[in-house]
Chains A and B, each alone.
Chain A
């Protein structure tokens, strides 16, 4: 059975044409992942929902200005979610939930072929991250999900800034090699 779902690029073009159906389809495709990312960063369901709504509305308003060089539509949308969530996190000065304190994986309740295929991709990325030495993995997680700047990480982890940069560089290089092997 061929996949009749319109590709992301087509959905974005329709979004630019103010097609609410395209917005609904984009949300159905990425709303769950966007919410999960926002929740992972913020640790609060209400704030995460606000971020997701804000991000999709931002895409709704800005789809006409989307350019492919910004990344594919999924990456573009999730980068909006990430930026919004981290902005909110950084405004909170009292407490930042570290990613390792956050919720553990929950099994997916979908069993479609597409979901199964996606889950393979997700597992590959997760395994690539988990395979990193703890210091590199923690640096990447605290930076991306914890919203810490590299200078803050240097203080938090008690290591020179150059070490933080090195952990990021080597960690991402290893992840790239791991992902390339599976593609």
Chain B
């Protein structure tokens, strides 16, 4: 008899669908075009960060410095413009800073062989500290006149769709093409699936690892600019928030295993949709904050436990690097 098997991605999709349906039926004002756009808009930045994390996790790594890579280069742009530099020069500086963050992460992990968990934890702290000590005057960097026009990156709409959703869509397409249509993408999967085999077959595994972290930092910077544009300021203190857990959650819930080599853009989208639906529904229901955390935790536990039951792990199925 053939057993029906669900992957975690499918389970999460079912949970998402169930939630979505019950909200649609029982919650007035949930299933409207306007609210759907709001739902997506609210998780667009989270989704973009999810893409960055996905690239790294597929390559069997993890990037805890992602929130610093969102806050510091993004904040740098606002601060430099506030101090009288041109927008173009500020964007250039932010881009260079992001590349530097990625290169340091990649070098530490690929060449110095520091485990990614520790390497990125340290660089994240360093970058956030650098921003606080040397770059920013205040934690919240305010929008200034020199930025006029740039807020369109995160506000307003294009053809009726809020811009931040469009930005998420663009990021999805770019990352999809990169992962599935280019040689580098194939290499990232290969390195993530089995780094030793990848190296033996002649894949330049170390440069590929560096590439992952540079890409992640650049996407993080992009997410930061979208976030700053959408709230007209850069709350750099976001580094101290729990956002990084939400990002990992989106990736893992969506079904990209932390052991690497599996999953893709679709998984990020599903994970993001689940989180977005929960947040939106609970806000409409006006559930207090503590209750929201409780419900979030329960839904996530259900998803993870179902996965463990349907896809049990043992010595054979477990991979090295499983967390």
Task: Report whether chain A binds chain B.
Answer: no
A residues near B, CB below 8 A? none
B residues near A, CB below 8 A? none
